[in-house]
Amino acid sequence: MSLFNQGDKAYLLLADGQIFEGRSFGAKGTVIGEVVFTTGLTGYQETLTDPSYYGQIVTQTFPLIGNYGVNDSDYESAKSYVSGYIVREWCNTPSNFRMEGNVNDFLLKHNIIGIHNIDTRRLTRTIREVGVMNGVITTEDVYSKKSELLEKINAYEIKDAVKKVTNSETLTYSDDNPKYKVALFDFGYKRNIRNELVKRGCKVVVVPANTTANEIKKIAPDGIMFSNGPGDPSENTEIIENIKEIAKLDISIFGICLGHQLMALANGARTEKLKYGHRGANQPVIDVLSGRTYVTSQNHGYAVVGDSLDSSVGLVSHINANDKTCEGIRYKNIKAFTVQFHPEAHGGPLDTAYLFDEFIKTMDKEAK
């Protein structure tokens, strides 16, 4: 039987009133979220477990999802944070020696509502032309409730996202005989960030998002990592004020994604919401100093406005080759550098992993 014939009817309703009819997979019910798209050909399990997708309904542009199944080893966090999931076709006969289930099993386990058998190309073109917009996935009759649902869609906002995904506990991870101690701020961090640090000889102390400079002093780390995370960076006013004080501790800092944005805001720059964001494993980024272009993995809807940063404070180090937005900053008066993309995600596949090595070297200098 064709995969497109499986499942009960499901509907996607967008804020502009468009309705896409498809088939249900995963959980049943109704969910509201911000509809975005990601262009990755692989890595769907990592996408589904990335906390940066909190509050969003994720569309996969690649037409076949699930062909290598899912497993318990490739989670980027303990659970899924997406609001809903949209694919053209999901594979119910995956094949891979590491698989422990299929994508439908995963959605059911995490109570995620999905829809398949819709025209994801048309949906993606709509988002590219109009910009990201809110929407609803429902397995109920959308036509009889359209007006009611549109009211809810238009009222929906992603608020307090970092507070919703951060862990309230301090947790420590390490291999034997670590050489460095790194405080990793959990703004919604991906496990591979932690793994990249541990395999380079770091004892990683994962701290809650609202950890203060005084609390960091007590931990006495050799380096500080500001992680990725969801939502509008500018709403995190308490964290931004904390970062201002943390930057005065004279400890090496490396920021990724949301961490990059928060660091910029703490240093007087501003951020803006992009029309449809950068989400996928194939975003080209130019290193301004070397002129070299790297293949990067990204997941963000906001960007730092590069020319809003005082040049006496820091300089844009990387730019997006497509739209020229800021992709990295090197600071002048503090020991910090940040990037918008994800070096731990192995885009390229190892193009930008050198940034972790560079972070280690900054701590090496401090040890001498």
User: 58: which DSSP letter?
Assistant: E
Task: Give me the pLDDT at residue 347, please.
Answer: 76
Task: Give me the pLDDT at residue 368, please.
Answer: 46
Domain boundaries, the chain: 3-157, 162-367
Task: Give me the pLDDT at residue 367, please.
Answer: 53
For residues 223 and 252, the answer to whether their CB atoms sit within 8 Å is yes
C-alpha to C-alpha distance for 17 and 280, rounded to whole angstroms? 27
Answer yes or no: same fold for 3-157 and 162-367.
Answer: no
CA angle (177 as vertex; 173, 183 as ends), nearest 5: 40
**Active-site annotation holder among 46, 202, 257, 318:** 257
Q: Do strands 252-256 and 202-208 pair parallel, antiparallel, or not at all (unpaired)?
A: unpaired
Task: Give me the pLDDT at residue 345, please.
Answer: 83
CATH class of 3-157: alpha beta
- Our answer to whether residue 344 is catalytic in this structure is yes
C-alpha to C-alpha distance for 233 and 277, rounded to whole angstroms? 14
- Our answer to whether residue 318 is catalytic in this structure is no
Task: Give me the pLDDT at residue 2, please.
Answer: 43
Return the bridge partners of 302, or none. 273
| DSSP labels, 96-161 | -TT--B-HHHHHHHTT-EEEESS-HHHHHHHHHHH--EEEEEESS-TTTTHHHHHHHHHH----SH
For residues 85 and 53, the answer to whether their CB atoms sit within 8 Å is no
Task: Give me the pLDDT at residue 71, please.
Answer: 96
**Active-site annotation holder among 116, 260, 300, 342:** 342
Contacts of 125 (CB under 8 A, 6+ apart): none
Task: Give me the pLDDT at residue 351, please.
Answer: 84
pLDDT along the chain (368 residues), means of 10: 66 98 97 97 96 98 97 95 98 96 97 98 98 97 97 97 97 95 98 96 98 98 98 98 97 98 98 97 94 95 98 98 97 96 84 93 73
CATH 2.60.40.150 fits 162-367, yes or no: no
Task: Give me the pLDDT at residue 170, please.
Answer: 97
- Our answer to whether residue 342 is catalytic in this structure is yes
